[in-house]
Amino acid sequence: MADILIIDDDELVRELLADKSRLLGHRPAAAGSLADGLKMAEAVAPALVFLDVRLPDGDGLSAIPRLRGMAAAPEVIIITGMAEPEGAAMAINSGAWDYLQKPFSTQEISLQIRRALDFRRRKAAGRTPVALKRDGIIGAGPAMDECLDLVAQVAATEVPVFIFGETGTGKELFARVIHENSGRTGAFVVVDCAALPEPLVESILFGHERGAFTGADRRHAGLIAQADGGTLFLDEVGELPLEIQRSFLRVLQERRYRPVGAVQERASRFRLLSATNRNLEAMAAEGVFRQDLLFRLRAVTLQPPPLRHRPHDIKALTLHYLHQVCERHDVKPKAASPELIEALTAHQWPGNVRELIHTLEKAALSDPDSPTLYPFHLPNAIRIHHIQSAMGSGGPEQDPGRAAAEARLAFDRYLRGRGPHLPPLKDFREQIIQEAERAYLIRLMAAARNDLAQACRVSGMSRPRIYALLKKHGISTRAV
């Protein structure tokens, strides 16, 4: 018997799903709004959630990471009356079990419940503790646990791992952890594909013989040779020049390469890992990335969660990296005030952990003698966002003109509190841009009558882009 939660504003759908759940021997609970559903999920800790997309107070797709991040980590089945390919892709990428379009049959619902719960049981039964060296990876929770479980499963294999994630989520760090747990005795060799100078790509990767070209006064072992017996990590693999992709595909297939100017091929027994924040499928469709190479790269895909989905990890990350920053710059050890942690937790972190580290570095160096860091030490944009959140300016029902006025008022108060010292122009400009962006989004959703398809047409933005911006500014998709 399992607890099943149904979040849908259609009473008939709630009754249908609840009745079918009871017939299968499970305990159903139901909510008609997103807010009530999230509260109920915390209280009930369901194993399975049926989640509608268009709810009176928000978009169901945006709640998937929060549901999956709960202690129970329920499986989520999206149910919708609209056929939206982008929404389906967003749901699956966010960890949904499946995406169903209304109307659906009772047989289909029964099958989905059985399969999702059976998968959950087998996953729980098959999870065995693994001693994993995870130096540098800070965090807990279901999303991080899933990543580390996958690392443990694939570390000692030869299978290529494709690490996909936003900038600053720690893709290289995960690659290093895979290498360190692989048992391989060779080096961990990083190839920054975005920094490869095009005329020298072949020489850097494959090496060259003496005299192979002007200036080649000695033999050079390329990065592929250096990775023999170890791991070759292609960072920003989407930037690999198209003409090199064909050559590299053969290297992957044969584990043999020919240095520039060489007569014979040589072997390299490397393990391949790759990473990017770009959509390689779209690039392959456009003809700027080889589809066959993409298939070879992503035998297994690992997706580190963005920091905004891990607010519970902010404190641990802050304490860990603040200690590192102080040691690296030889400044006095510093404590983090509760107010600082609160302000950092409220931030959306578009640059993820990397942005957090840079923020702590600036804060620590701005006042080297202070034993404790406070929100005062943070960049202006983070402080103002925290003030706005505390003032309740993130509510979707607020008038855009009033929201902008209150943001300006908060900023003015901040300036007056700092006396005659103005903030850097860059920070001031960023705040004004953020303010204008938020006001535009509120007006956009009001003009589109909360119709996301219409909002996309008016703004020229894609649905995932609008979802991301609405979430960034704390704007719900309910009527404004």
Using a pLDDT cut of 70, give the percent of the chain over it: 88
What's the pLDDT tens digit per position in 365-381?
A: 998 888 999 988 998 88
Same domain, 9 and 155: no
Q: In Å, what is the CA distance from 469 to each residue of 356, 439, 448, 477?
A: 20, 12, 16, 11
What's the pLDDT tens digit per position in 92-109?
A: 777 788 888 877 788 888
Structure tokens given for 309: 């989905």
Structure tokens given for 347: 């931030």
Same domain, 46 and 117: yes
Strands 75-80 and 48-52: parallel
Q: 32: pLDDT confidence band, cut at 50, 70 and 90?
A: very high
Q: Report the C-alpha dihedral over residues 472, 478, 479, 480, rounded to 10 degrees.
A: -30
Same domain, 102 and 152: no
**Does 186 score more than 60 pLDDT?**
yes
Same domain, 212 and 154: yes
The answer to whether residue 331 sits within a structural domain is no
- CATH number of the CATH domain containing 252: 3.40.50.300
**Does 20 score more than 60 pLDDT?**
yes
- pLDDT, residue 389, reads 67
CA distance 33 to 48: 17
Tell me, what amino acid is at 260? V
Same domain, 75 and 189: no
Structure tokens given for 261: 């100017």
Query: Which residues on adjacent β-strands are paired with residue 5?
Result: 29, 49
Query: Which residues on adjacent β-strands are paired with residue 235?
Result: 192
Our count of domains for the chain comes to: 2
What's the pLDDT tens digit per position in 204-251?
A: 999 999 888 888 888 888 999 999 999 999 999 999 988 899 889 989
Using a pLDDT cut of 90, give the percent of the chain over it: 37
φ/ψ of 5, rounded to 5, equals: -110, 135
For 50, the domain range is 3-126
What's the pLDDT tens digit per position in 413-472?
A: 555 444 444 556 666 677 778 878 888 888 888 778 777 878 888 888 877 778 778 878
Mean pLDDT computed over every residue of the chain:
84
Residue with the bigger pLDDT between 432 and 153: it is: 153
Same domain, 147 and 284: yes
**Does 4 score more than 90 pLDDT?**
yes
Single out the residue in 242, 272, 302 at which a domain terminates: 302
Lowest mean pLDDT among 20-29, 62-71, 204-213: 62-71
Same domain, 78 and 177: no
Same domain, 150 and 89: no
**Does 139 score more than 70 pLDDT?**
yes
CA distance 190 to 173: 11
Residue with the bigger pLDDT between 443 and 88: it is: 443
Q: With contact defined as beta carbons under 8 Å apart, do 241 and 201 qualify?
A: yes
Lowest mean pLDDT among 23-37, 89-103, 285-299: 89-103
